[in-house]
Structure 1
Amino acid sequence: MLRVDIAKKLGDFTLEASFTSEGRVTGLFGASGAGKSSLINIIAGLLRPDRGIVTLDGETLDDTAASVHIPPYRRRIGYVFQDARLFPHLDVQQNLDYGRRMNRLAEDPAQYKRVVGLLDIGALLRRRPGQLSGGERQRVAFGRALLSKPRLLLLDEPLGALDEGRKLEILPYLVRLRDEAGIPMVYVSHDAAELRQLATQIVMLKGGHITAFGGVKVLSVSSEQH
C-alpha cells in the first residue's frame, strides 16, 4: 500500500496531493505541468516534501514532522524514465545487471531468466543500446529496474518518446508486467487510452491538486471535461 499526503512549493507552483492506493498500477494522469513528475520524484525520494508523509507497505519514507527522509538508494524503488537512460558503453546484459550490482544483491538466475523471458529480450543481450530500437531500449530499462528487486516501480511517461507503432509494441509487455511481475507500479501519463489499458486506480492531477481519485472510470469524466 502506498500512502501519500504531501505539499511542495516549486517556485510559483504548489503541489498538494493526498491519496492511498492499493492498486497494482496507480496511474497519475494530467496535462503537462499538472505536477505528475514532481509527485513521482517525491515518492522516489529525489524531491523532499515541504510538509507531509509518504509511506510504503507501512514503512515511513518521508515524515516532515518527525524529520524522517529515507534517501532514494535505500527505498528499494525502481524508476524508469521517458528516455531509457541505458549506459551506451555497456551491452544489454551488463545494463540489466547494473541495478542488481548497485544494490549489492546476490545473483538470481531464476529471476533473471524470468525477467528476460517476460520482456522478450533474450536475443538482445550482446547488443549495445545504440543498436536497439526505442521500444527495445525501454524493454531493457524495464528489465534493469525489475532486476534491482524493487518493492515499487515508478514509470514516468515511459512511452512518451515513442511513436504510435512502438507504443503498441510495448503496451502488451507492460500489461504482462502488471499481471505477472507482482510489483506495484505508479505510472505517469497524459494519455487516457494508455492508462485505460494499464491502470487499476487513477489519481487525476490538475494545477498541482488532485481533482479525482478512483477506478479507471474517472478517465471518462476527464474526457468529457476536455
Structure 2
Amino acid sequence: MTLSVALQHNQGAFCLDVAFDAGPGVTALFGRSGAGKTTIVNAVAGLLRPDTAHITLDGVTFNDTATFLPAHKRRVGYVFQDARLFPHLTVAQNLDYALRFGARPRGRDRIIEMLGIGDLLARRPATLSGGEKQRVALGRALLADPRLLLMDEPLAALDGPRKAEILPYLDRLKTESAVPILYVSHAVEEVARLADHMVLLTDGKVVRHGPLMDVMADPAAVPLLGVREAGAVLRATVEAHGDDGLSTLRVAAGPLQLMGVEAPVGAEIRLRVLAQDVLLSLEHPTGLSAQNILPVTILAIKSGDGPGAAIALDAAGDTLLARVTSRAVASMDLAPGKSVFAVIKATSIAQTAISGGVISGAKPAP
C-alpha cells in the first residue's frame, strides 16, 4: 500500500510545499517545530483542505483539483499527542466507540492483547497514566479498521519512564500489524527505533527522504538531525548473552559487545549508534577498554560550519557515521576510500536505542 502526497498550503507567511511517497511500514515525518509536519497529517486525515493537493492512498483519491474526500470516508486512524479519550466512558466503552465506524469486531481481542490493555477495560481515563491513555487511544484507532494510521507526536507529552513504557508496544504494533503508519516526531530516538523510511522537513520543504538507514547515516543530514543526535541505525542478530551482562551481537562488519540487550538469541534487532560515540583509528588499536572494533572504509566527509566533520563509513555494506574534528581529518589524512577502524564503547549505546524490530526490506546480518 502506497500513500502519495503532494501539496501546497499557505498559512500567513509560512508556505508548505512538499511531495513524497510513503510505502508499507512506518514512515517518519521529522523536523523541528513549525516545519509543517502536523499540517501534512491533517491534510492526509481530511481535517485540513490544502490550497493545492494531490493525495492518494492505494489508488483511492483523497484530494485533487476536483476531489476532497471527507475525513469520515477516508478510513484513516489518527492518534494525537493528547489521547483525547472520552472522560465519561470506561476504557472498554472508548474502544467500542470505534465500532460505530465499520470496524471488524473480531480484531478487538487481538488488539487489546497486543497493546496490553486488558486489565484497564473497566477503568476511566482519569485513572490512567499517560502511557496507558496513549495505548488505549491507539487501540481505539486500530479498532476503526484503518487503511492508514497517523500518529502525531504520540509520545511528546510523556516523561522518560512513560515513553519507555509505551515504546515496546509500538515495536510490537509495527511487527504484528499490517497497517502502514505515518509517524510525526521531532525526537530522533523515536524515529530511529520505529521508522522504516524518513522524510526530513525544514521550513515547509522536504530536504531529504528515503530509507531510514540511508537518511540517518547521511553526513549532510547531521545539521538537520542535530550534531548530538545524529547517528546510524544498524541491523544486528543476537548471538549470545554473557553472565556479565554483556551480549554478543553480529552486524555485517563483525561482532559487537553491548549492554542492555533483552532480545532472545537469534533475534534480529536494530540499534542506533551515535556519531559522537564512534572513534576512528588508522591502525587496529590495542590496549583499549573498548572492545568493539570494526574495519571500515571512508565513504564521504562533510565539514560543518564549525570545527567538526561528519564521516560516513562503509562497514561491510552497512553505513556508520562518525563525528570528529576537522583537525583530526587533516592530521590523520582522512579521505574517501581510506581504510580505518571504528571503535565503539559497549556502554555508549543506551537500552532505549535497541529495539526488537528489523527494518522493512532489510536483509538480516550474516
Give the conservation status (yes or no) of the 8 Å contact 1:153–1:186: yes
- Whether 1:116 aligns to 2:112 is yes
Match of 2:58 in 1: 57
Equivalent position of 1:35 in the other structure: 36
Distance, in Å, in 2 between the alignment partners of 1:23 and 1:157 is 20
Query: Match of 2:154?
Result: 158
Tell me, in whole angstroms, the C-alpha distance in 2 between the residues paired with 1:128 and 1:216.
38
* C-alpha distance in structure 1 between counterparts of 2:186 and 2:102, whole Å: 35
Q: Is the 8 A contact 2:102 2:144 kept in 1?
A: no
The structure 1 residue matched to 2:133, chosen from 137, 146, 156, is: 137
Q: CA shift at 1:224, angstroms?
A: 4.7
Question: Which stretches of structure 1, 4 residues or more, deviate above 6 A after TM superposition?
Answer: none
Deviation at 1:23, TM superposition (A): 3.3
- Partner secondary structure for residue 31 of structure 1: coil
CA gap 1:58/1:143 in 2 versus in 1, 3 angstroms: same
Q: What one-letter code is carried by the residue in structure 2 that aligns with 1:208?
A: G
**Within 5 Å, which residues of 2 pair with 1:1-226?**
1-64=2-65, 67-101=66-100, 103-105=101-103, 108=105, 110-217=106-213, 218-221=215-218, 222-225=221-224, 226=226
* Structure possessing the higher radius of gyration over alpha carbons: 2
How many residue pairs get aligned? The number is 221
SS in 2 for 1:176: helix
Deviation of 1:105 (Å) = 4.1
Partner of 1:32, secondary structure, is coil
Amino acid at match of 2:150: L
Counterparts of 2:32 and 2:178 in 1: how far apart (Å)? 29
3-state SS, counterpart of residue 176 of structure 2 = helix
Aligned mates of 2:75, 2:177 — CA distance in 1: 16
State the alpha-carbon separation in 2 of the partners of residues 79 and 155 from structure 1.
6
d(CA) in 2 for partners of 1:223 and 1:168?
25
Bigger shift: 114-123 or 175-184?
Answer: 175-184
Distance in 2 separating the partners of 1:86 and 1:117: 19
Greater share of residues in helix:
1
The answer to which structure has the higher strand fraction is: 2
Q: Within 2, Cα distance between the matches of 1:202 and 1:137?
A: 27
| TM-score when normalising by structure 2 | 0.59
**Letter in structure 2 aligned against 1:186:** L
Q: Which has the higher contact order (CA 8 A, sep 6+)?
A: 1
Q: Deviations over 1:152-209 (max 9, x none)?
A: 0000000000001111111111111111011000000001111011000001100000
Structure 2 distance, partners of 1:123, 1:113, is 12
- Once the 2 structures are TM-superposed, how far is the Cα of residue 20 of structure 1 from its aligned partner? 1.1
In structure 2, C-alpha distance between the alignment counterparts of 1:68 and 1:39, rounded to whole Å: 17
Q: 1: CA distance between counterparts of 2:197 and 2:127?
A: 36
TM-aligned CA deviation for residue 11 of structure 1: 1.1
> Normalising to structure 1: TM-score of the pair?
0.95
CA distance in 2, matches of 1:104, 1:113: 16
Q: State, as a whole percentage, how many aligned pairs show the same letter.
A: 51
